[in-house]
Structure 1
Amino acid sequence: MTDAGFHRRTMLGLGLTAAATPAVAAIAPADPGEIVPLWPRLPPGAPAVLPREEVRDRAATSGFRDRIVTGVARPLMTVFRPARPNGAAVLVIPGGAYVRVVIDKEGFETARRLNAAGVTAFVLRYRLPGDRWTPRTAAPLQDAQRAMRLIRSNAAAFGVDPARVAVMGFSAGGHVAATLCTRRAEAAYPPLDAADGQDARPDLACLMYPVIDMSPPHAHRGSREALLGSAPAPDAEAAASPHRHVNARTPPTFLVHAMDDDSVPVANSLAYLAALRAARVPAEAHLFEEGGHGFGIRLIQGRPAAAWPDLFLAWAARKGFVKS
């Protein structure tokens, strides 16, 4: 692998073992050691003083390893390699309302489930717009585009098929994923190296209870303010609402949402689904009666929505993405 910025099995100050309670730390699986920094130098639009990156484990209140990252200064991907890879890859983008990145619940736990199906997973730790990046709205999209390009550029070394690279985003991470899908051709940053000649378009998308609409009444207030500021203009809201930018080149998409989600209304997924149908983009949606918000895999066990990983993998297999 010769692309600038790629360093295999470097920890890069990951800091993902700090602050766990002894009981949780004792049963939590070890983190992978394979880390891919996204940028060979400072990320685009860096402020004069970089944000201070912090990792905090919410295990004391969650009852399980539940790490979050704030102040992301050096965005990266953590690579999860399956024991029996089938060539498919997924860029996993956790949520966190654009003020944190939820590493375990929506990132690492999801990656391990994908590994069990033979899928190589890349968990993205992306920059947050409130940390003075310029322009503030560009940083998450820049990181997502760069991540997709690095996966494809180094596909042979990762053991993946560059024509089978999907994206999966949760909550605000779903907004990053949907923005990547609808603005994949946008030159979000100046090209740096050969990797930036790769296509950033995902081959498939899975959007989990995604933030989509940035206009009231359906906008998630916290994500909207973190991304756009406290009083965004209507044209800024429209520009940042992915359902307004769906077209025939938007990737086939799988949507999951709980009807009782009181944080990100189900209307967000419905708006994106309607736009996909209008553009004749293949789509499948599963709307569950219960589940609330942010359930990932762990918090939905024992309820019907727990089936979502199997439903996604079955749909992906029908699309020729997951192969035995």
Structure 2
Amino acid sequence: MKLKLSILTILLFFLSASFPLAAQKAPQPFDIDTPSLRIFLPAPELATGRAIVACPGGGYGGLAVNHEGYDWAPYFNKQGIALIVLKYRMPHGDRTLPISDAEAAMKMARDSADVWNLNPYDIGIMGSSAGGHLASTIATHARPELRPNFQILFYPVITMDKSYTHIGSHDNLLGKDASAELETEFSNEKQVTKETPRAFIAYSDDDKTVPPANGVNYYLGLHKNHVPAVLHIYASGGHGWGIRENFIYKNEMLNDLSAWLRSFKAPRKDAVRVACVGNSITYGAGIKNRSHDSYPSVLGRLLGDKYWVKNFGISARTMLNKGDRPYMKEQAYQQALAFNPNIVVIKLGTNDSKSFNWVHKADFIKDTQTMIDAFKALPSQPEIYLCYPSKAYLTGESINDDIISKEIIPMIKKVAKKNKLPVIDLHSAMDGMPELFPDHIHPNEEGAKVMAKAVYDAIAK
């Protein structure tokens, strides 16, 4: 009897041990024709919602779909990441073909998020060699809804500058006689903005095919625009190693990549989107680490991961469309609308108080209403909060707190009442705190915390 029980116990142990292994088996990959994709989804219980669209290299003349594409699937799937390998069309004189395929792949990944169990806010792009040029082109040129959330670039062609590009990729994509203007347009180190997604970049120091200077200059462009990025240059390995075993730094590279992928977290799929619209005070001018300490960043931490707060502040902008720098004529305004927010926090008016702008004060209510109507018309039908401008410890021909308090605030109050919108009184909240305004206009880190708390209290009511 004891022997039977022991055998039964052993059998049960092995059976129970085998179940998790079976349960964690990834589904079979499947193909889609247009664009040409092969999708590798992770096991459902491992899935994080993250996905990567992979663009293999080949000099825009072919595709290394195995070691720069399919062979990456086990590595990513074990981390709960879906891999979507794109077999993009070659240009053959039409440079729009590979670009439109990559954009279509990004769109399909986001459109299929519910079916494939993906987070549409966590879709990255990966590219190797010429595929790295394609990936970085999507990262720097695509419309916001098609732009990846992050980019992974292995020995990428970045520039089209003939002095250090991969000339085969240049000729196949743009043609041998491409104009200087066209070369500049597709030299992606020159196309980086603050909206370009974060990047992981890797080369070998002895790469003679694509000089690492391609990635160095791209990294510098990202760094200049305050875009998080890492650059790894391994001692040797040449070009085109992908995930091959013969790359002697393979394990180090995979460890570096895994650590980077763990270093950031995407907004939740169901996150409430909050758009902070404003001027340099919203942007975080004068704050050393504005990505962490500007008021929208602090607000995001206060609200927690159920919310996704984005900073659409831009310095020196006015609500007035006849002002010297109207906010509604800026790309940031279009990006705020494209974000389709659930909540909008509008904090403009400080720069309108300048004497040369306030001569157009008759338009202030009308222009404020124009902005409100644009956000009201969005599919998300957002809650809109109007902020009284924060206290300015200045008067005179430039920013003038007398005009802010006696003229602009009453106008904002009138518009809010007409539209039945809540008001956040940042002016009173920051009164009597001159020590938090080093230049008398822009709050420091502690001042940004006061602003964030006032906005948080309004939203969290």
Do Structure 1 and Structure 2 share a fold, with TM-score over 0.5? yes
Query: If the length of structure 1 is used for normalisation, what is the TM-score?
Result: 0.71
Q: Which residue of 2 aligns with 1:318?
A: 263
Give 1:112's match in structure 2, choosing from 74, 84, 104.
74
2:128–2:154 contact (8 Å) kept in structure 1: yes
Q: Higher helix proportion, which one?
A: 2
After the TM superposition, which residues 128-207 of structure 1 pair with which residues of structure 2 at under 5 Å, given as runs?
128-130=90-92, 132=93, 136-185=94-143, 199-207=145-153
CA contact (8 A) 2:155 2:203 kept: yes
Q: Indicate the percent of aligned positions where both proteins have the same amino acid.
A: 33
- Compare CA radii of gyration and give the structure with the larger one: 2
TM superposition shift of 1:157? 0.6
Determine if the alignment matches structure 1 residue 212 to structure 2 residue 158: yes
User: Which one of the candidate residues 169, 192, 200 is aligned to 1:254?
Assistant: 200
2:174 matched residue in structure 1: 228
Q: Which amino acid aligns with 1:274?
A: L
1:243 to 184, 189, 197: 189
Partners of 1:322 and 1:98 in 2: CA distance = 34
Contact 2:53/2:84 (CA < 8 Å) preserved in 1?
yes
SS in 2 for 1:268: helix
1:240 Cα deviation from its structure 2 partner: 1.1
Which stretch has the larger CA shift, 275-284 or 80-89? 80-89
Higher relative contact order (CA 8 A, sep 6+): 1
Structure 1 gaps of 5+ residues are 1-30, 39-74, 186-197
Residue 36 of structure 1 corresponds to which residue in structure 2? Answer: 32
Q: CA deviation at 1:310?
A: 2.5
The residue type equivalent to 1:309 in the other structure is: L
Quick one: which amino acid aligns to residue 159 of structure 2? D
Measure how far apart 1:149 and its partner are: 0.8
CA distance in structure 2 between the aligned counterparts of 1:240 and 1:310, rounded to whole angstroms: 31
Q: How many residues align?
A: 240
Q: Quick check: 1:100 aligned with 2:62? A: yes
* Separation in 1, partners of 2:171, 2:113: 36
- Contact in 2 for aligned 1:76/1:126 (Cα 8 Å): yes
* 1:76 correspondence with 2:36: yes
User: Is this contact kept in 1: 2:244–2:250, CA < 8 A?
Assistant: no
Q: In 1, distance between residues paired with 2:156 and 2:238?
A: 13
Q: Which residue of 1 aligns with 2:397?
A: none
State the distance in 2 between where 1:82 and 1:154 align: 15
For residues 290 and 176 of structure 1, the distance between their equivalents in structure 2, rounded to whole angstroms, comes to 24
**Matched-pair contact (CA < 8 Å) for 2:135–2:151:** yes
8 Å CA contact 2:208, 2:239 repeated in 1: yes
TM-score w.r.t. structure 2 length? 0.50
Distance 2:244 2:249 in 1: 13
What whole-Å deviation, never above 9, does each CA across 1:117-175 have from its counterpart, x for those lacking one?
11111000001111x5xxx1111111111111111011011111111111111000000
| AA of the residue aligned to 2:185 | A
Question: Who is 1:292 aligned against?
Answer: 238
> Could you report, residue by residue, the CA deviation over 1:18-44 in whole angstroms, capped at 9, with x for unpaired residues?
xxxxxxxxxxxxx95511233xxxxxx
CA distance in 1, matches of 2:121, 2:139: 15
Q: Which residue identity lines up with residue 31 of structure 2 in the other structure? A: I
Does the aligned pair in 2 maintain the 1:208–1:256 contact within 8 Å?
A: yes
